[in-house]
Amino acid sequence: MTKSNNDLDFDSVIRFIDRSDRFTLLSHISPDGDTLGAALALFQLLLKKGKTAEVVCANPVPKIYGFLPCAESVVMPENAKGYENVISVDCADTPRFGRAVRIFEAAKHTAVIDHHMTNPRFGEINLVVADAAATAEVICELFKKMNVLIDKAAAVCLYTGIVTDTGNLCYSNTTGNALRIIADFIDKELVDVAELNRLIYRNVPYGKTRVQGFVNSNIQLEAGGRIGIATLTQDQMHGFGATNEDCEGIIDGIRDIDSVLIAIFIRESADGSYKVSLRSKGVGDVGRLAALHGGGGHEKAAGYTAHEPLSTVKADIILQAQDELKRVMDTEADRPNNK
């Protein structure tokens, strides 16, 4: 984390918190370990500062993250107080709020805490640290700057956010600072790494195993194997007794195919739209592809929501992924040392 470039933004968020008493924290739809871990850690920070706070998400907390301290405090938009001060946590843009967007729009004051480089800085105050491994890493720094002790409950939330957004500390976005945070938690005996690893990665529902096996057996390769794509409809998912949260991680299986440079997973949502997840092995910027459709993310991990028929969604993203690979290869060919 390049702290020197973000000190003023941290100061702005700290002043925002210090001058107000009531806060609504917003997590993104299809919540993952980072948006929940970061928001729940911030929730605990605010309570320690004597503030009133709530965490709101348009989707229920996935069972896999039910172990997170204060997870039971997450409420749906319909049950939210909707306080005048709203903080967006790990949301790259406002569509990621889902139904909770009305709470953000109705707020008197807003702040954004995030790490997605595509974030357009849509808040009144914006703390976007693009070189952080996870938003949880940013929240950890906020604890330190506000002189608030990170106890076991907060550490579990922050640890979960960091490890899940870095593929268990394996992805290229893993930073030295993230590793130092985890090491500090271990040294202070704030987290049980083995137990948290079991809860996050070794506690797979039967329906998840079945649906992932089905998708993996139907992966389609394009562009000479450089693009891998798979789709899943609501009927198929329900046929295996699976839920949306059981689809987390499917994109990683596509990306792990040896020849694949860009991985695509298209999953139908209950409302008939399609969630398109994109991953890159460093060849091609999938954040650019997501931005073409109003989505966002990072160079190597991004996504968007599409409303066209599945055949159109699939054909469009395959063509755009092919164009992206060609763009990268053309750029490489034009470099002086390649001539």
| CATH code of the domain in which 167 resides | 3.90.1640.10
Nearest CA among 18, 190, 200, 41 for reference residue 113: 41
| pLDDT attached to residue 312 | 98
Instruction: Specify if 189 maps to a domain.
Output: yes
Based on the fold, state whether residues 148 and 61 are members of the same structural domain: yes
Q: Looking at per-residue confidence, does 296 or 314 come out higher? A: 314
Neighbours of 183 (CB within 10 A): 10
* CA of residue 324 relative to chain centroid, distance: 23
* CATH code (residue 262): 3.10.310.30
Instruction: Specify if 23 maps to a domain.
Output: yes
Based on the fold, state whether residues 252 and 234 are members of the same structural domain: yes
End-of-domain residue from the set 201, 223, 242:
201
Say whether 125 sits in a helix, a strand or coil. Answer: strand
Residue 167 pLDDT > 50: yes
| pLDDT attached to residue 263 | 98
Q: Per the structure, how many domains does the chain have?
A: 2
On the CB side of 139, CA atoms within 13 Å amount to 34
Q: How far is CA 199 from each of CA 11, 34, 156, 194, rounded to the nearest angstrom?
A: 35, 15, 12, 9
Residue 220 pLDDT > 50: yes
Based on the fold, state whether residues 318 and 276 are members of the same structural domain: yes
| 122 and 66 Cβ atoms separated by less than 8 Å | no
Instruction: Using pLDDT thresholds of 50, 70 and 90, give the confidence band for residue 61.
Output: very high
Based on the fold, state whether residues 142 and 11 are members of the same structural domain: yes
pTM for the full predicted model: 0.83
290 lies in which domain range? 207-334
For 112-116, 146-150, 248-252, which range has the lowest pLDDT when averaged over its residues? 248-252
| pLDDT attached to residue 4 | 41
End-of-domain residue from the set 184, 201, 218:
201
Based on the fold, state whether residues 183 and 197 are members of the same structural domain: yes
H helices then E strands: how many in the chain?
Answer: 12, 12
Instruction: Specify if 36 maps to a domain.
Output: yes
Mean pLDDT of all residues in 85-95: 96
Residue 331 pLDDT > 80: no
Residue 23 pLDDT > 60: yes
| 255 and 228 Cβ atoms separated by less than 8 Å | yes
Based on the fold, state whether residues 125 and 12 are members of the same structural domain: yes
Mean pLDDT of all residues in 219-228: 97
Share of the chain above pLDDT 70, in %: 96
Instruction: Using pLDDT thresholds of 50, 70 and 90, give the confidence band for residue 329.
Output: confident
Residue 103 pLDDT > 60: yes
| 309 and 323 Cβ atoms separated by less than 8 Å | no
Mean pLDDT of all residues in 123-148: 97
Based on the fold, state whether residues 219 and 320 are members of the same structural domain: yes
Instruction: Using pLDDT thresholds of 50, 70 and 90, give the confidence band for residue 36.
Output: very high
Instruction: Using pLDDT thresholds of 50, 70 and 90, give the confidence band for residue 3.
Output: very low
Say whether 130 sits in a helix, a strand or coil. Answer: coil
For 129-133, 238-242, 274-278, 333-337, which range has the lowest pLDDT when averaged over its residues? 333-337
What's the N-to-C CA distance of the chain in angstroms? 36
Based on the fold, state whether residues 36 and 64 are members of the same structural domain: yes
| Separation CA 168–CA 157 (nearest Å) | 14
Share of the chain above pLDDT 90, in %: 88
| pLDDT attached to residue 336 | 63
**What one-character-per-residue DSSP string does 79-101 give?**
G----SEEEEES-SSGGGGGGGH
Mean pLDDT of all residues in 225-247: 95
Say whether 90 sits in a helix, a strand or coil. Answer: coil
| pLDDT attached to residue 338 | 57
| pLDDT attached to residue 298 | 85
Instruction: Specify if 18 maps to a domain.
Output: yes
**Which value, to the nearest 10 degrees, does the dihedral of the CA atoms of residues 232, 235, 240, 242 take?**
70
Based on the fold, state whether residues 224 and 188 are members of the same structural domain: no
Based on the fold, state whether residues 186 and 237 are members of the same structural domain: no
| pLDDT attached to residue 2 | 44
Say whether 263 sits in a helix, a strand or coil. Answer: strand
End-of-domain residue from the set 170, 201, 232:
201
Instruction: Using pLDDT thresholds of 50, 70 and 90, give the confidence band for residue 117.
Output: confident
Instruction: Using pLDDT thresholds of 50, 70 and 90, give the confidence band for residue 87.
Output: very high
Based on the fold, state whether residues 142 and 244 are members of the same structural domain: no
Contacts of 11 (CB under 8 A, 6+ apart): none
Residue 125 pLDDT > 90: yes
| Separation CA 126–CA 119 (nearest Å) | 9
Instruction: Specify if 339 maps to a domain.
Output: no
| pLDDT attached to residue 26 | 98
Neighbours of 324 (CB within 10 A): 22
| Separation CA 82–CA 23 (nearest Å) | 8
Nearest CA among 134, 153, 154 for reference residue 144: 154
Based on the fold, state whether residues 196 and 220 are members of the same structural domain: no
